[in-house]
Structure 1
Amino acid sequence: MTEMVRKITLSRAVRTMQDLFPEEYDFYPHSWILPEEFPLFVAEVRIMKESDPPWKPTFIVKPDGGCQGDGIYLIKDPSDIRLAGNLQCRPAVVQEYISKPLLIDKLKFDIRLYVLLKSLEPLEIYIAKDGLSRFCTEPYQEPTLKNLHQVFMHLTNYSLNIHSGNFIHSDNVNTGSKRTFSSVLCRLSSKGVDIKKLWSDIISLVIKTVIALTPELKVYYQSDIPAGKPGPSCFQILGFDILLMKNLKPVLLEVNANPSMRIEHEQELSPGVFENVPSPVDEEIKVSVIRDTLRLMDPHKKKNKDTQSQLSEHSSDTKEDLMEPGSAEKLEHEISKNPEASLPSLCLKQVFPKYAKQFNYLRLGDRMAALFIRFLGVRGIMKLGPTGFRTFIRNCKLYNSNFSMASADILYIDITRRWNSVGLDQRESGMCLQAFVEAFFCLAQRRYKSLPLHEQVALLIDFCEYHLSILDEKRLLCSRGIMAHRAALATCQPDRPRPPPAIHAPLLNRTTAANKFTDYRNHRS
């Protein structure tokens, strides 16, 4: 998971979905991967400026493995990127900067929302009812050449702003430089904002992001989890960082695989002397997230089934429960009926598979990953070899007069070589999942030329799955036939004459061939 939510990997995963469903994945800023896409970045910015002269963009550069705001900086022009040194050994993502964020008290802020990925097979996602709102410590102004370097104005990272002299530690969860998200929602609601719509958009963003990540996660999963192990084998608490635009549209900034769960902060008593001070807002949010995660996972199954079913029932309440004020009191009353009456109500709410019907059409990546995994051959490897790719083409009946097996080999070599040259994992040779998806797109566009890409891909997946199901059925019938034949031989009458000991077919063939060769030599002599 840590690898999957790195800035470059996340950008690639979301970009694949943007290619398939551009309107559904418009919540992620336009991104370029550096240094490999630097020429493309320069060219696209030039074209956009030529087509729209008044456009004065700002871009934000984020190091791939950076955290807590480390190494992030703003630029106004591609020529301002620090290409020398750092970028060559430390890849980065450059994105369009959101220059018109929603402000509260003239300050920019973001939302840290906690998401529990309870299971990958089947996919289960839970979202916390409340989160953290983290504020900048200087009044916001749209970026100019003079203020680009002012991190306390533009970057919402808590780890940066805590060093500002304007940072406010508050004992109240509704005030200060770090507040509960619910306090922000109450303030917006008082101004007439449709909170239900806002929550619905955030839920949609979270589900779509997880759907973008699951294909490659499943490749990792099959590599690490023993075959045939029943039920979920792992879980993860993710930290989603979301920015609200001025028009209240949520934008995904990044996903953290290991979000901080500290519920205290350091306070300097005297130079060099610190003490840990409890943080009410952190405790309010994080304790309930950890508690509910453990209650939902219940790894040792110590509680009775009635309690477990009640937990599941309350964890998947309606969307209105997640959004309406007063829902906490309602759930508190309902949960008081079960054996855990002394515990607070659940803050984690199930959003998937609860809303699966609304989003299942987006899961084309999962189906492509299933095809990829099927043809890996040896369990545990992460890349598809040329033989596996040829078997995929042959078994799925993708070759024809216009696309020969030689063409498949060329496609494999071209795409694999390009992906292996961009600095991905070199421990194994072969085609990674992203390269396989690109090859699949090429095959789909070749076969179904006049349709949108997502329809082309969906049709090709159906085509492959159909032919593989026929193949599986034939193998099953063949297996049953062999078993039936063996059973018939085993039930033969004991008084029937038994055949001589069986000789393996290859040995018979070799003996026959040897006899023919001897006869041939005798005849020649």
Structure 2
Amino acid sequence: MTEMVRKVTLSRAVRTMQDLFPLEYNFYPRSWILPEEFPLFVDEVRMMKDSDPSWKPTFIVKPDGGCQGDGIYLIKDPSDIRQTGSIQSRPAVVQEYICKPLLVDKLKFDIRLYVLLKSLEPLEIYIAKDGLSRFCTEPYQEPTLKNLHQVFMHLTNYSLNIHSGNFIHSDSVNTGSKRTFSSILCRLSSRGADVKKLWSDIISLVIKTIIALTPELKVYYQSDIPAGKPGPTCFQILGFDILLMKNLKPMLLEVNANPSMRIEHEQELSPGVFENVPSPVDEEVKVAVIRDTLRLMDPQNKKRKDIQCQTSEHVTEANENLLDTGPADGLEHESTRTLEPELPSLCLKQVFPKYAKQFNYLRLVDRVAALFIRFLGVKGTTKLGPTGFRTFIRNCKLSNSNFSMACVDILYIDITRRRNGMGIDHRESGMCLQAFVEAFFCLAQKKYKSLPLHQQVTLLIDFCEYQLTVLDAKRRALCHADGPHLAPASHPSLLGRSAPASKLSDYRNHR
């Protein structure tokens, strides 16, 4: 997980989804990966300036492995990127800076929301009903050449602003330089803002981001934990950093794999003498997150949770259509009170699979990853060799007179060599998932011309899954013919998806 949410890896994952669903993934700022995309960055900025001379952009440069604001700086032009220390040795992401954030008390702030990824298969996501609002400590002004370097004005990182003389530690969760997100929502609601829609947009952002991350997580997961065998229960608390624009549109800044869970801060009593002082706002939010994560993950609670799930199934589908993290349904609360009367109701709200119907159509790369994992062949590996790629092409019947196996080998070599040249994981040779996804997109564009990319990819996935379902059925028939004692070669993740007759006609129409 730590690798997956690094700035470069997150940007790659989100960009793949932006290629497929540009409108659904417009919550992530336009980004370029350095050093490999520096020429592209220069060219695109020049073209945008030529087409709109009034455009005066600002960009923010974030080192890939940086944290707590380390190494982040603002620029006005690509030529301002610092070459000291060699970007080559320290990759970075450069993003379009959001110049019109929502301000409270004339200060810029961001939101830290805690998200529990409880399970990958099946995918289970919970969001804490409250979070932290971390404020800058100088009144905000839109960036100019004169104020670009004023970090207390532009960067919301708590670890930076705590060193400002204007930082306010407060005993109230409603005031100071760190407050609860719920206190901000109350202020927005009093001004007439649609808080329910804001929560809905935030939930959508979280679910879509995790959908972008899960395919590669599954590849690493299967290499460590054998399928079908009992293993450790894996979960992760993630810290989502979100910025609200002036129009209340949430924008994803980054995801933290190991968000700070401290509930105190250091206070200098005298020169060089420090004391740890409790932080009421941190305690309010973080204690509940940790407590309820343990309640949800505790295997001893499984029977009680099953009863709770059965009770929750009676909630009407009409209620399921509204994305909100307000008070849980009465039935769910009642069961929680009955089973755990000594604890408060859960602060973690399930958003997936609860809202799966609204988002499952986005999970195309998940299905591509399932194909990739099937053809890896060797347990514990995360890269596909040339033989595995050829087997994938052959079993899915993707080669023909216009696309020979020699072309298949060239595609494999070209994409793998270029991806490996980007410095992506040299521990193994072969094709990583991102390279396989790129190759799959190329195949989809060859096979189904003149369609939007997401439709091309959907059709090719359906076609491949159908061909593999037929192949598995033939293998099972052969096994039964040879003798009932032989175990069939089954692939549940693919066998469950037999293509309906209507899809077969689609294949014929587009071949």
Are the aligned partners of 2:200 and 2:324 in contact in 1 as well (CA < 8 Å)? no
Pairing 1:309–2:307 present: yes
Q: Per-residue displacement from partner, 1:72-108 (whole Å, max 9, x unpaired)?
A: 0000000000124241211000000000000000000
Pairing 1:119–2:119 present: yes
- The TM-score, its normalising length taken from structure 2, stands at 0.91
- Letter of the 2:458 counterpart: A
Pairing 1:435–2:426 present: no
Are the aligned partners of 2:110 and 2:135 in contact in 1 as well (CA < 8 Å)? yes
- The TM-score, its normalising length taken from structure 1, stands at 0.89
Counterpart position of 1:470: 470
Pairing 1:25–2:25 present: yes
What are the ranges of 5 or more consecutive residues in structure 1 without an aligned counterpart?
Answer: 487-525
Counterpart position of 2:213: 213
Q: Give the deviation of 1:29 after TM superposition.
A: 0.3
Residue 454 to residue 267, structure 1, CA distance change in 2 (3 Å): same
Q: Give the deviation of 1:442 after TM superposition.
A: 0.5
Q: Give the deviation of 1:316 after TM superposition.
A: 11
Are the aligned partners of 2:63 and 2:71 in contact in 1 as well (CA < 8 Å)? yes
Are the aligned partners of 1:316 and 1:351 in contact in 2 as well (CA < 8 Å)? no
Are the aligned partners of 2:311 and 2:332 in contact in 1 as well (CA < 8 Å)? no
Q: CA RMSD in A?
A: 2.0
> Whole-Å Cα distance in 2 between the matches of residues 410 and 332 of structure 1?
56
Residue 392 to residue 308, structure 1, CA distance change in 2 (3 Å): closer
> Whole-Å Cα distance in 2 between the matches of residues 245 and 345 of structure 1?
32
Q: Give the deviation of 1:396 after TM superposition.
A: 0.3
- Letter of the 2:48 counterpart: M
Counterpart position of 2:509: none
Counterpart position of 1:257: 257
> Whole-Å Cα distance in 2 between the matches of residues 51 and 312 of structure 1?
58
> Whole-Å Cα distance in 2 between the matches of residues 26 and 66 of structure 1?
24
Are the aligned partners of 1:117 and 1:235 in contact in 2 as well (CA < 8 Å)? yes
Counterpart position of 1:400: 400
> Whole-Å Cα distance in 2 between the matches of residues 321 and 173 of structure 1?
26
> Whole-Å Cα distance in 2 between the matches of residues 357 and 314 of structure 1?
17
Q: Per-residue displacement from partner, 1:313-357 (whole Å, max 9, x unpaired)?
A: 679986769444xx3897997367413112111000000000001
Counterpart position of 1:494: none
> Whole-Å Cα distance in 1 between the matches of residues 423 and 23 of structure 2?
30
Q: Give the deviation of 1:227 after TM superposition.
A: 2.9
Pairing 1:104–2:67 present: no
Counterpart position of 1:268: 268
Counterpart position of 2:153: 153
Q: Give the deviation of 1:306 after TM superposition.
A: 3.6
Residue 476 to residue 295, structure 1, CA distance change in 2 (3 Å): same
Residue 254 to residue 336, structure 1, CA distance change in 2 (3 Å): closer
Counterpart position of 1:143: 143
Counterpart position of 2:366: 366
What are the ranges of 5 or more consecutive residues in structure 2 without an aligned counterpart?
Answer: 487-511
Are the aligned partners of 2:292 and 2:346 in contact in 1 as well (CA < 8 Å)? yes
Q: Per-residue displacement from partner, 1:131-163 (whole Å, max 9, x unpaired)?
A: 000000000000000000000000000000000
| Percentage of identical aligned residues | 82
Aligned length, in residue pairs: 482
Counterpart position of 1:76: 76
The within-5 A match list for 1:22-421 is 22-230=22-230, 233-299=233-299, 301=300, 303=301, 305-306=303-304, 309-310=307-308, 322-324=324-326, 327=327, 334=334, 337-421=337-421
Are the aligned partners of 1:307 and 1:338 in contact in 2 as well (CA < 8 Å)? no
Secondary structure at the counterpart of residue 172 of structure 2: coil
> Whole-Å Cα distance in 1 between the matches of residues 274 and 331 of structure 2?
40
Secondary structure at the counterpart of residue 338 of structure 1: helix
> Whole-Å Cα distance in 2 between the matches of residues 376 and 437 of structure 1?
14
- Letter of the 1:445 counterpart: Q
Q: Per-residue displacement from partner, 1:488-519 (whole Å, max 9, x unpaired)?
A: xxxxxxxxxxxxxxxxxxxxxxxxxxxxxxxx
Q: Give the deviation of 1:234 after TM superposition.
A: 0.3
Secondary structure at the counterpart of residue 147 of structure 1: coil
User: Higher mean Cα deviation, 358-367 or 222-231?
Assistant: 222-231
> Whole-Å Cα distance in 1 between the matches of residues 19 and 265 of structure 2?
43
Are the aligned partners of 1:109 and 1:136 in contact in 2 as well (CA < 8 Å)? yes
Counterpart position of 1:2: 2
> Whole-Å Cα distance in 2 between the matches of residues 359 and 154 of structure 1?
34
Are the aligned partners of 1:292 and 1:347 in contact in 2 as well (CA < 8 Å)? yes
Pairing 1:423–2:423 present: yes
Q: Per-residue displacement from partner, 1:164-215 (whole Å, max 9, x unpaired)?
A: 0000000000000000000000000000000010000000000000000000
Secondary structure at the counterpart of residue 89 of structure 1: coil
Are the aligned partners of 2:13 and 2:213 in contact in 1 as well (CA < 8 Å)? yes
Q: Give the deviation of 1:463 after TM superposition.
A: 0.5
Secondary structure at the counterpart of residue 70 of structure 2: coil
Are the aligned partners of 2:108 and 2:153 in contact in 1 as well (CA < 8 Å)? yes
> Whole-Å Cα distance in 2 between the matches of residues 232 and 442 of structure 1?
37
User: Higher mean Cα deviation, 309-318 or 406-415?
Assistant: 309-318
- Letter of the 1:310 counterpart: Q
Q: Per-residue displacement from partner, 1:256-313 (whole Å, max 9, x unpaired)?
A: 00000000000000111101000000000000000110101113x1x47246533786
- Letter of the 2:143 counterpart: P
Are the aligned partners of 2:112 and 2:242 in contact in 1 as well (CA < 8 Å)? yes
The within-5 A match list for 1:480-491 is 480-484=480-484
Q: Per-residue displacement from partner, 1:229-277 (whole Å, max 9, x unpaired)?
A: 2487300000000000001000000000000000000000011110100
Residue 50 to residue 483, structure 1, CA distance change in 2 (3 Å): same
> Whole-Å Cα distance in 2 between the matches of residues 64 and 316 of structure 1?
46
Are the aligned partners of 1:132 and 1:179 in contact in 2 as well (CA < 8 Å)? yes
Secondary structure at the counterpart of residue 436 of structure 1: helix
> Whole-Å Cα distance in 1 between the matches of residues 298 and 485 of structure 2?
48
Residue 250 to residue 194, structure 1, CA distance change in 2 (3 Å): same
> Whole-Å Cα distance in 2 between the matches of residues 418 and 329 of structure 1?
51
Residue 147 to residue 182, structure 1, CA distance change in 2 (3 Å): same
Residue 349 to residue 402, structure 1, CA distance change in 2 (3 Å): same
